Structure 1
Amino acid sequence: MYWTIHLEGGPRRVNHAAVAVGDHIYSFGGYCTGENYRRQRPIDVHVLNTVNYRWTAVPIIRPDDPQSCCVPYQRYGHTAVAYGDKIFIWGGRNDEAACNILFCFDTKTLRWSCPKVHGAIPGARDGHSACVIGHSMYIFGGFEEYIDRFSQDVHALDLEKMEWRYVITQGNPPSYRDFHSASAIGTRMYIFGGRGDIHGPYHSQEEVYSNEIVYLETLTSTWHCPRTTGYIPLGRRSHSAFVYKNRLYIFGGYNGICDKHFNDLYCFVPATNHWIQVKTQGKRPCKRRRQSCCVVGDRVFLFGGTSPYLGVQPVINEEISEEMLFEGFDSKLMDHNDLHVLDFAPSLRTLCLQVVIARHLDENWLPEDIWWDIRAMTTNNNISRPLNNTG
């Protein structure tokens, strides 16, 4: 398992939502220190080509375009799931309000739509989780806007019938929380981490961070909390969770009680309920939270997020979002525009290229296709605005 790529210059985004469709990763929204999140504007969409590691920005829909009414506003704390060639965006908020409208992005046409839904539509929220099991998108938890409390509810949207339903569950559900992760393995939805409160659904600033694994068996709508063994990670929120070969991986995140960011990697094996702390090769990403991770083939693509700023505080404008103030802007957090790639099964070709790059070997004698690969692996992107412009 090898960290093979580290490139700068991609979208500088925190608390965004991303999902892979084919060889491309689509990233939606998020925030960046200094931008104005009270004003509504169309959400930005960035696309990563995982073959050449190049980012592109999807053109923003003009206000006079008939499609403009179906474009979600710029937001953070939302979710994105893929179903076929379509990506469904739900929830999230800006600094004024949260949202519960369903949006659909067609990866073939790069066009937006607002599917007509019916049933028991969940209340607006952010910091929830979502995953697809079968033909349904399941969402769990989050912080509900209108009742001003954490959630521990499960809702499901049938993506064929476009019908919402409230899922009545059995067993002991995970505690009220937001900024956890939900991962689909077979018919199970695995919940890990997140931020809760000792007073249950209400936010009193007395936070709790669970490190239990809890899963919902969707066939029976029953919660299970298996007894786990091994190197169990410390409780955290705003981490990344991804599934590779039916194993659940957790990267990074933040624990507010000890005020600690992480860049560790853990693996949970559902077959044995065992945790493993994973040791990787190569230079791993710095400690961070609210990044995105997407699996394409045998590789994991990690990008964005925020972490403690280790240098001189960057210059920003006066329009600092409420989210960043709440998250501790005074603690000097730095938003990232970088891309890292973790390869679970690096080929001999990839490992040889790593040696050429690391040792600065003469490339002139290399075949053109290998030279092209080296350029792709070492050339930064350039779609971010400068840090003092916080793009």
Structure 2
Amino acid sequence: MEEQKERPAFRNLRIDTARYQYLGLWEELRIPPPLPPRRCHHSAVMIQNKMYIYGGQDVHIGVLGDLWVLNIDPSSSSNELWTELHPSGDLPGPLCRHSAISRGNLIYLFGGTNNSVENSSIYVLNTENLVWTKINPSSEQPPAIDSHSACFNEADNTMIIFGGYINGVHSNELYIYNIQANEWSRPNSQRKPDPRSDHSAVIYQNYMWVYGGSSESERLSDFWRLNLRNLQWELVQSEGISPGTVSGHSVCVCGDVMLVFGGIREIIKETNSMYTYDFSSNKWLMIQHETQIKDPLSPSEIENYRKLAKQRHTVQYSSKEESAKADLTKQRSAVVGAQTQGRVKGIVPHSRDGHSSIVFEGGMYVFAGDRHQMSFNDVYCYSIQEQVLKTPVAI
């Protein structure tokens, strides 16, 4: 196995929001075709300098079962290219609203749905030989879950699953998969967050932190943490300006700060606002107001894309299935027109939910998502500035 290079550590990270500088911290990655089809509610993990995405859905195309990898190279944008991978083994098939974590060179995928059948299994991808393996645990596995959260707890080598939909009903159950022992457990707590889906969860130090999501009747704005030592929940009473009610957002941890980007507040009310939570001071800070920007596609391009999507449902795949899929992928890539390769500074991502975000070498990378039933396949990077913010200026 190739030894992973040690990445520079973040030091008491703060976000520089003074003097309206946040707009200049965004970059759009202009990547030439081939491009992944547009999607939302996919999974994304980072292994070394590569972002792996799996599945997701487009309301006009359906649920996807493809695997793509993006090579990220901040020092040379000409090396930043998408590649579709074709693994073998026990393929998970089309899935959306699933979760994935990475451990070494392995990707662990759990749950999700193809909008017809829900998945209750774990699939593991070895990124070195590109072979999928379906795991048969030595204990009873959880029921099928989708729209949940998953975190990898490196301290005890476990994958922690929380919330989501079980049999079409919101859940607040906690399931823990011990990778070494290949066993599931279902710990209980006297006090739990309300049942929810499309929330966020991250691990910082000895806690798993959960924010927002959707319940049966509303979107949520509560903030909880799970003590990973005794597996008891605590409601976090924080200070500052929090993201408020939101679901389908993304979160990242950088140093002592959690970044929350995007999400949806109500029907057809997606946002591209961004907030930080400082673990050490227990304070929220808004670092980006909702920003109105030009639609990434013109009305004619959107209509063309939807026509191509309808063709997807009329194709009768036979022995030429792979060729037909390849043709459609080329067509979908062509919708965005010719692109100039490179990074373009100062372009803020459109409002979206169901996207993913990961951190790599001082940047938060945002991929895909959905706005008003129009999915994206774009990539943006927000440069994280290591500056201590002494006197915040309202933006």
Q: What CA distance in whole angstroms lies between the structure 2 residues aligned with 1:236 and 1:293? A: 16
* 3-state SS, counterpart of residue 95 of structure 1: coil
Task: Report runs of 4+ in structure 1 exceeding 3 Å deviation.
Answer: none
Aligned to 1:53: 80
CA offset at residue 282 of structure 1?
A: 2.3
CA 1:60–1:34 in 2, change beyond 3 Å: closer, same or farther?
A: farther
Candidates 24, 28, 49, aligned match of 1:5? 28
Aligned to 1:231: 241
CA contact (8 A) 2:121 2:135 kept: no
Q: What CA distance in whole angstroms lies between the structure 2 residues aligned with 1:336 and 1:60? A: 24
Aligned to 1:139: 161
CA contact (8 A) 1:298 1:344 kept: yes
Q: What CA distance in whole angstroms lies between the structure 2 residues aligned with 1:209 and 1:35? A: 27
Aligned to 2:147: 127
Q: What CA distance in whole angstroms lies between the structure 2 residues aligned with 1:120 and 1:211? A: 33
1:34 is aligned with what amino acid?
H
Aligned to 1:296: 360
1:73 aligns with 2:83: no
Aligned to 1:268: 277
1:335 aligns with 2:375: yes
Q: What CA distance in whole angstroms lies between the structure 1 residues aligned with 2:60 and 2:113? A: 17
1:95 aligns with 2:115: yes
1:288 is aligned with what amino acid?
R
Q: What CA distance in whole angstroms lies between the structure 2 residues aligned with 1:100 and 1:140? A: 14
Q: What CA distance in whole angstroms lies between the structure 1 residues aligned with 2:48 and 2:359? A: 10
1:233 is aligned with what amino acid?
P
Aligned to 1:344: 384
Range moving further from structure 2, 4-13 or 207-216: 4-13
> Where in structure 2 are the equivalents of 1:248-259 lying within 5 Å?
248-256=258-266, 259=268
CA offset at residue 50 of structure 1?
A: 0.6
1:31 aligns with 2:57: yes
1:307 aligns with 2:371: yes
Candidates 147, 172, 197, aligned match of 1:152? 172
CA contact (8 A) 2:256 2:280 kept: no
CA offset at residue 116 of structure 1?
A: 2.5
* 3-state SS, counterpart of residue 210 of structure 1: strand
Kindly tell me the number of residue pairs found equivalent between the two proteins: 298
2:279 is aligned with what amino acid?
P
CA contact (8 A) 1:120 1:166 kept: no
CA contact (8 A) 1:75 1:93 kept: yes
Aligned to 1:327: none
CA deviations 1:163-222 (Å, max 9, x no partner) are 10001224x31111101111111121111111102xxxxxxxxx2222121010110111
> Identity across aligned pairs (percent)?
26
**RMSD between aligned alpha carbons?**
1.8
Candidates 129, 133, 136, aligned match of 1:113? 133
* 3-state SS, counterpart of residue 126 of structure 1: coil
CA deviations 1:292-350 (Å, max 9, x no partner) are 11111211111111113xxxxxxxxxxxxxxxxxxxxxxxx21111111111149xxxx
CA contact (8 A) 1:307 1:335 kept: yes
Candidates 324, 347, 365, aligned match of 1:283? 347
CA offset at residue 279 of structure 1?
A: 4.1
Q: What CA distance in whole angstroms lies between the structure 2 residues aligned with 1:99 and 1:274? A: 38
CA offset at residue 106 of structure 1?
A: 0.8
CA contact (8 A) 2:87 2:132 kept: no
Aligned to 2:222: 212
CA offset at residue 55 of structure 1?
A: 0.8
Range moving further from structure 2, 264-273 or 1-10: 1-10
Aligned to 1:367: none
CA contact (8 A) 1:102 1:115 kept: yes
Q: What CA distance in whole angstroms lies between the structure 2 residues aligned with 1:47 and 1:246? A: 28
Q: What CA distance in whole angstroms lies between the structure 1 residues aligned with 2:147 and 2:177? A: 18
CA contact (8 A) 1:81 1:130 kept: yes
2:98 is aligned with what amino acid?
H
Q: What CA distance in whole angstroms lies between the structure 2 residues aligned with 1:210 and 1:273? A: 19
